[in-house]
Amino acid sequence: MNRRLVVLLLLFDVNWALAVFGQADTLWWQALVTMAMWLSASGWRRLGSAIAILGIGLDAVLIQQQVLSLSGSPVAMPMHLALLWLGFGLSLAACQPRLPKSTWALALLGGVMGSVGYYLGERFGALELAPTTSLGVVIIGLCWALLFPLGRALITALAPDSLGGKP
């Protein structure tokens, strides 16, 4: 794993912590971390932005369907969540050569990662899942199980030569 990827992944962890624990209160810090991610993600920006748009759309639907609600946020898509998606998109774009090739393995990875991430966000008080936490985790897991293979299709469409290669 190269140094730039390690830095990007560490910055994503900071981005996630700021979004979950600080939300709007740490928005400027999160914006700075996301900008640092953007600057270190040359070669992955277009794909990362496309993944972020896909994820923001997914969360917007989940919010609209009341599966996901964000504590302390009267807006449908708060800025801290949009910045988190941009950071995630950049990270996923950078990691895409290392993702499983099998659609089923990719779906399983997405389902588990999505479920765990949102479950932890709920446990830390950053969001609420409905109609119950368990059912919300299952719904989110299924959505992410679809999101990861869809992301692979997006990668193929936007950067077909990058599958298995380096940016």
Diameter of the chain measured on Cα atoms: 43
Is the pTM here over 0.75, yes or no?
Answer: yes
C-alpha torsion sign, points 159, 160, 164, 167: negative
Q: Is residue 17 part of a domain?
A: yes
Residue range of the domain that includes 137: 3-162
Q: Is residue 147 part of a domain?
A: yes
Q: Is residue 99 part of a domain?
A: yes
The two structure tokens encoding residue 6: 């390690």
**Per-residue confidence (pLDDT) for residue 112, from 0 to 100:** 95
Cα 44 to Cα 11, 40, 52, 90, 119, distances in angstroms: 15, 9, 12, 6, 28
Q: Is residue 30 part of a domain?
A: yes
Q: Is residue 56 part of a domain?
A: yes
The two structure tokens encoding residue 104: 């089923």
Q: Per-block average pLDDT, block size 10, for the chain (167 residues)? A: 88 94 92 95 87 90 87 72 94 86 92 93 89 93 91 73 47
Q: How many domains does the chain have?
A: 1
**Per-residue confidence (pLDDT) for residue 147, from 0 to 100:** 87
Q: Is residue 45 part of a domain?
A: yes
Q: Is residue 167 part of a domain?
A: no
Q: Is residue 48 part of a domain?
A: yes
